[in-house]
Amino acid sequence: MITTIVAQMKREFWEQRVSFLWAPLIFILLVEALSILVMVHPHNIHFPDNAPLALDTLTVESYSSFDPATGKTRLDFNTPDALALLAGLHQAVAWGIFALMFAVAIATYVHSTLFADRKSREILFWRSMPVSETLNVMAKLLMVCLVVPLLILLCNLLSFALFMITALFMGQDFSQWWLALKMGLLSFKIVGSSFVVMLLILPFICWGLFASAFAKRSPVTISIAIPAGLWLADVFLQKYAEISLGVKTLLGGYWQFASASFGKLWGADGSEDFRILDINLAAGVDPKISSIAIIISVLLIAATIWLRNNRYEI
């Protein structure tokens, strides 16, 4: 069974290689180009005095200097920790870029993967193969929830390796390398948070797969119209009949958690220091919300599998 799922995931990866292979490689090169631009013009990076960047034990004096000409604190490669700070910034920016890229890829993938083979009638061929629709759907779900976070980790590590090689060729002080290399460990901290994010957006992923299996014309329209309609109905019933469908409360809880989690990127102690990747999403997971997320996801996946087995023709 495991061998079959792995084979299915390999097929999915190859069929979606534009989103999961070529696009990440292009974005890695774009991140590297941005890194080179920063290294060539480090004096353009200024830090506000009232909100210095913070990373582990680094202090603002260890990576910057005051520029009398501009009256601003700027990045200074003559300081001992400048390269380390830039490496941390690189990890944070790269993670944001790759996460945004894969978010678009995931949204496109889940809304099209179970619809495209129905539209092209390829599903009739795959149904003749000795692979159940349960394994087929689970392989697609694992592609999103398991492979994508690992791809983000790989992209971050490759991008970081290119960053360090670029720093070497641009003549950065080798004595700064050890602390800068330690910043590469942030990639593994990032992937842990990525898995937590996947757990919390799992209902939306499963909903996209359900819409892809259900829709006859446009999965995206189904995916947006039904939740929007339920939201409006919930608001209307709460206002005029004092009846709650729970949709507004559930989505509001998700929104509050997301806002609080990413708010932790700023100093948890209430300061205005910007703490690069100082975020532990797992510590803030609400058990109630995560339990509801898992239950909703299981129900949606079960419905998706039923549709694939019983109502697959368009």
Q: Residue 102's pLDDT is what?
A: 92
Helices (H) and strands (E) in the chain, counts: 13, 5
Q: Residue 93's pLDDT is what?
A: 84
Q: Hey, which residues does 64 pair with through a beta bridge?
A: 75
Rounded mean pLDDT of the chain?
A: 78
Beta strand spans in 4-92 (E) = 46-47, 53-54, 64-67, 72-75
Dump pLDDT digits (tens) for 193-231.
777 777 778 889 999 999 999 998 899 999 999 989 988
Q: Residue 286's pLDDT is what?
A: 64
Q: Residue 52's pLDDT is what?
A: 46
Q: Residue 274's pLDDT is what?
A: 44
Q: Residue 258's pLDDT is what?
A: 63
- Show the tokens assigned to 126: 């795959």
Q: Hey, which residues does 65 pair with through a beta bridge?
A: 74
Q: Hey, which residues does 66 pair with through a beta bridge?
A: 73
Lowest mean pLDDT among 144-153, 163-172, 293-302: 163-172
> Is residue 70 over pLDDT 70?
no
What percent of the chain is modeled with pLDDT above 70?
74
For the chain, how big is the Rg over CA atoms in Å?
23
Lowest mean pLDDT among 130-134, 223-227, 250-254, 306-310: 250-254
**Closest by Cα among 242, 250, 254, 247 to 226:** 247
CA dist., res. 182 & res. 58, Å (int) = 13
Q: How confident is the model at residue 272 (pLDDT cuts 50, 70, 90)?
A: very low
Q: Residue 267's pLDDT is what?
A: 44
Q: How confident is the model at residue 80 (pLDDT cuts 50, 70, 90)?
A: low
* Overall average pLDDT of the 271-291 stretch: 56
- Show the tokens assigned to 60: 């603002």
Q: How confident is the model at residue 69 (pLDDT cuts 50, 70, 90)?
A: low
How is residue 51 annotated by DSSP?
Answer: S
* Overall average pLDDT of the 264-290 stretch: 52
Q: How confident is the model at residue 263 (pLDDT cuts 50, 70, 90)?
A: low
**Top-confidence residue, 196 or 281:** 196
Q: Residue 281's pLDDT is what?
A: 53
Dump pLDDT digits (tens) for 120-150.
877 777 677 777 889 999 999 999 998 998 9
Give the 3-state secondary structure of residue 106: helix
Lowest mean pLDDT among 124-138, 172-186, 238-252: 172-186
What percent of the chain is modeled with pLDDT above 90?
26
> Is residue 61 over pLDDT 90?
no
Contacts (Cβ under 8 Å, ≥6 apart) of 306: none
Q: In whole angstroms, how far apart are CA 177 and each of 87, 132, 167, 244, 276?
A: 10, 51, 9, 58, 19
* Chain centroid, CA 106 distance in Å: 9
- Show the tokens assigned to 273: 């220091």
